[in-house]
């Protein structure tokens, strides 16, 4: 059973591997699309990565980005293998890939070719730097685009230097934008009856996420500084050490939060001090005010402060480790941790999909075994058992 049925009837031929493409297609699979993952005979390389936790001979990471899909293994370099994909395209809505530019053209599976088979087909490509133009022929990975996209210049601390965001932000941002692009193309096709090609680059996605950093630079002419554990435009809006573990406090937005904070830390006079009235004043005098707050927060434990701050309706939170974050009441209530039953391989927990819709199931299927759906998919395309056996003997399918 699929997690949601919003995209029932939408069939996606998924040629993508690694993280960026599979994450984007998984988002659509979670929403009800029938995603048929076309893998090389050896499988998506993530399956065979031996670094990190393993599940039944496969890397556990594969379960993170491939749930709710079907899998067939096909040799795209063989003419009969490409014909399998072509027959799928004739009956499908979308072809999704994250090959390097030029690969689909060499395989004869580019959009111009596919639209002769199905004028309604939508092609979506994810690449590091775009299908054409400067750097389009360069390889690129998550770390590379995080560095090139400006984000790493803002992370970390002046003392320790930049920090890579470890949860694949370069890949997953591009995957999300690709999913949005596909849905927009589907809506466009509903009006025009014709499919079109859309594409997303990992670097573009990183630049798009910079948001107000771009605007602020445009107006000020200054390069944004490293943010550390706070933000240069707001204060107090950062992490503070306590007597045991750090917390974050976001007493900004409305002045009542600052006034309440002053009372909670037993420094009510700060709320009336003209030097610190208004966020603008506090930001300008951060060097004066931050040591005062830091000294106050070190006098009590994390939980003591959180109880007091929460009671005063001041935005504050602990800095949770991943297992703690998965166990919060909202995460449990909203199904953001899904447990998948892998049969003899055991069970595994994965991050859920944040989209909720009425009348939708929250049941997820695990990522498929390599080629698990081969016979069912080929039979739906008109291949009989003898034809399938012949393809298997020829080494075209697995």
Residues 290 and 355 in one domain: no
147 and 288 share a domain? no
Asked whether residue 243 carries a pLDDT value surpassing 50, the answer given is yes
* Domain end position, chosen among 284, 318, 352: 318
- Is residue 247 within 8 Å of residue 236, measured between CB atoms? no
Sheet order of strands, 122-127 included: 69-73, 34-39, 11-14, 94-97, 122-127, 197-201
Catalytic residue among 231, 333, 356, 359: 231
Q: Which among 278, 294, 318 is the end of a domain?
A: 318
Residue carrying structure tokens 């299927």: 365
CATH number of the domain residue 108 falls in:
3.40.50.10540
Q: In the prediction, which pLDDT does 362 show?
A: 66
Range of the domain at 252: 247-318
Of 196, 204, 197, nearest to 136 by C-alpha is 204
Q: Are residues 98 and 187 in the same domain?
A: yes
The arithmetic mean of pLDDT across residues 247-252, rounded, is 97
Residues 293 and 166 in one domain: no
Distance linking the first and last C-alpha atoms of the chain: 25
Question: Most distant CA pair in the chain: distance in Å?
Answer: 86
Same domain, 287 and 386: no
Q: What is the spatial distance between Cα 37 and Cα 44, in angstroms, rounded to a whole number?
A: 9
Is residue 71 in some structural domain?
Answer: yes
Above 80 in pLDDT, residue 1?
Answer: no
Q: Are residues 71 and 94 in the same domain?
A: yes
Contact between 366 and 373 under an 8 Å Cβ cutoff? The reply is: no
Number of other residues whose CB lies within 10 A of the CB of residue 325: 13
Q: Which of 318, 342, 366 is the last residue of a domain?
A: 318
Indicate whether 149 and 273 sit together in one domain. no
225: in domain: no
Spatial separation of the C-alpha atoms in residues 173 and 171, rounded to whole Å: 6
Asked, for residue 165, whether it belongs to a domain, the answer is yes
Q: For residue 4, what pLDDT is reported?
A: 74
Residues 27 and 68 in one domain: yes
The answer to whether residues 51 and 131 belong to one domain is yes
Which residue, 198, 196, 179, 208, is CA-closest to 20? 179
pLDDT digits (tens, 9 = 90+) for 70-110: 999 999 999 999 999 999 999 999 999 999 999 999 999 99
| Residue 216 falls inside a structural domain | no
Q: Which residue has the higher pLDDT, 110 or 160?
A: 110
pLDDT at 2: 47
Q: Same domain for 200 and 258?
A: no
- Is the residue at 233 inside a domain? no
Contacts of the segment 149-153: beta carbons below 8 A, 24+ positions apart = 149/203, 149/205, 149/206, 149/207, 149/209, 149/210, 150/206, 150/207, 150/210, 150/213, 151/206, 151/209, 151/210, 153/223, 153/224, 153/226
Q: What is the pTM of this model?
A: 0.94
23 with 88, same domain: the answer is yes
pLDDT of residue 359: 75
Both 277 and 361 in one domain: the answer is: no
Is 79 a member of any domain? yes
Question: How many domains would you assign to the chain?
Answer: 2
Element (H, E) at 284: helix 279-284
- The CA distances from residue 286 to 23, 158, 194, 219, 299, in Å, are 40, 16, 56, 22, 20
Please give the Cα distance from 369 to 71 (Å, whole number): 7
Catalytic: 356? no
Over residues 300-357, the pLDDT tens digits come to 999 999 999 999 999 999 999 999 999 999 999 999 999 999 998 999 999 999 998 8
């Amino acid at each position: 059973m699929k997690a949601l049925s919003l995209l029932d009837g939408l069939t996606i031929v998924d040629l993508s591997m690694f993280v960026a493409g599979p994450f984007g297609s998984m988002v659509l699979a979670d929403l009800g699309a029938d995603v048929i993952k076309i893998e090389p005979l050896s499988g998506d390389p993530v399956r065979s990565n031996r670094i990190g936790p393993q599940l039944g001979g496969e890397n556990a990471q594969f379960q993170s980005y491939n749930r709710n899909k079907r899998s067939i293994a096909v040799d795209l370099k063989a003419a009969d293998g490409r014909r399998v994909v072509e027959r799928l395209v004739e009956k499908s809505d979308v072809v999704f890939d994250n090959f390097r530019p030029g690969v689909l053209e060499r395989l004869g599976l580019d959009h111009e070719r596919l639209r002769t088979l199905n004028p309604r087909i939508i092609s979506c490509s994810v690449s590091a730097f775009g299908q054409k133009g400067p750097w389009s022929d360069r390889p690129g990975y998550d770390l590379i685009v995080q560095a090139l996209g400006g984000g790493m210049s803002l992370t970390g601390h002046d003392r320790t230097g930049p920090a890579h965001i470890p949860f694949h932000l370069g890949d997953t941002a591009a995957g999300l934008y690709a999913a949005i692009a596909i849905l927009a193309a589907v809506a466009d096709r509903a009006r025009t009856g014709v499919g079109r090609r859309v594409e997303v680059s990992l670097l573009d996605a990183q630049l798009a996420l910079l948001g107000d950093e771009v605007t602020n630079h445009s107006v000020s002419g200054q390069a944004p500084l490293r943010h550390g554990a706070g933000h240069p435009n707001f204060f107090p809006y950062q992490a503070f050490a306590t007597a045991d573990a750090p917390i974050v406090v976001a007493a900004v937005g409305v002045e009542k939060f600052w006034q309440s904070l002053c009372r909670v830390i037993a420094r009510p006079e700060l709320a009336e001090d003209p030097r610190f009235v208004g966020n603008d004043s506090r930001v300008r005098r951060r060097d004066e005010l931050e040591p005062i707050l830091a000294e106050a927060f070190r006098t009590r434990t994390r939980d003591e402060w959180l109880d007091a701050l929460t009671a005063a309706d001041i935005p504050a939170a602990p800095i949770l480790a991943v297992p703690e974050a998965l166990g919060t009441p909202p995460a449990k209530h909203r199904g953001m941790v899904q447990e998948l039953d892998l049969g003899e391989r055991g069970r595994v927990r994965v991050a859920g999909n944040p989209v909720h819709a009425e009348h939708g199931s929250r049941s997820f299927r695990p990522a498929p075994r390599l080629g698990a759906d081969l016979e069912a998919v080929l039979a739906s395309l008109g291949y009989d058992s003898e034809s399938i056996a012949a393809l298997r003997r020829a080494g075209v399918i697995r």
